[in-house]
Amino acid sequence: MIKATLQSRTVLRIEQKNGSLFLEGNETPYDLRELKEGAYHLMLNGVSYSLDVIASDTISKRHVFRLNGKKVTVQLEDRYDALLKELGMDSASTKKTDHLKAPMPGLVVDIPVKEGQQINKGDTLVILEAMKMENALKAVADGTVKKINVQKGQAVEKNVVLVELA
């Protein structure tokens, strides 16, 4: 199940099963044809749409399209995004900060950075194992690793400061 948010408003719950498309739980006939790279023709419920991809960020799952000449931004969310949000690890809950805290109790599996190292937004700072899953905790902004407060193999509680940033 994927949730699509259009211009900050949830508009559709989309699921694809056995070659069929389900919108809000209802099977919906569709045909999608690529005309050329980034340009598509969509028939949805008997209605024709012209769809051009303007920008697509697969990491943030944010896509900008021109739909029948009108620019629209779509944010997709799948079940993994919903789980991360539930655990407090979604990108919406992160802000530029001078430290990285453990979002949940867990075990520090790896620390792929060193003190004094320059980092970029999206770089993995700590890998934390929690609930039998490894979670890569990433930098939310560019900066420098000021101090690492944990060691590989260490058990940590929620909200413990793992890494201090500058």
pLDDT tens-digit series, residues 3-30: 666 656 666 778 878 777 888 888 888 8
Distances 94 to 58, 88, 101, 102 between C-alpha atoms, Å: 19, 9, 11, 12
Read off the pLDDT of each residue in 101-115 and give the average, rounded to a whole number.
Answer: 93
The answer to whether 56 touches 63, Cβ cutoff 8 Å, is yes
CB burial of 91-120 (b: ≥16 within 10 Å; e: otherwise) equals eeebeeeeebebbeebebeebebeeeeebe
Label residue 82 by pLDDT band (50, 70, 90). confident
Residues in the chain: 166
Give mean pLDDT, residues 84-91: 67
Mean predicted confidence (pLDDT) in 137-162: 92
Contact 73, 58 (CB under 8 A): no
Lowest mean pLDDT among 8-12, 111-115, 135-139: 8-12
Task: State if pTM tops 0.85.
Answer: no
3-state secondary structure of 37: coil
Measured CA to CA in angstroms, residue 76 lies from 9, 22, 48, 63, 139 at distances of: 11, 15, 22, 8, 22
Structure confidence at residue 114 as a pLDDT band (50, 70, 90): very high
CATH of 91-165, one of 3.10.50.40, 2.40.50.100, 2.40.50.140, 2.60.120.10: 2.40.50.100
- The strands making up 143-148's β-sheet, listed across from edge to edge, are 99-101, 161-165, 143-148, 118-119
Record the tokens describing residue 20, joined without a space: 């069929």
- Is 53 or 9 the better-scoring residue by pLDDT? 53
Name the token pair of 34.
């690529």
- Residue boundaries of the structural domains of the chain: 2-77, 91-165
Average pLDDT, the chain: 84
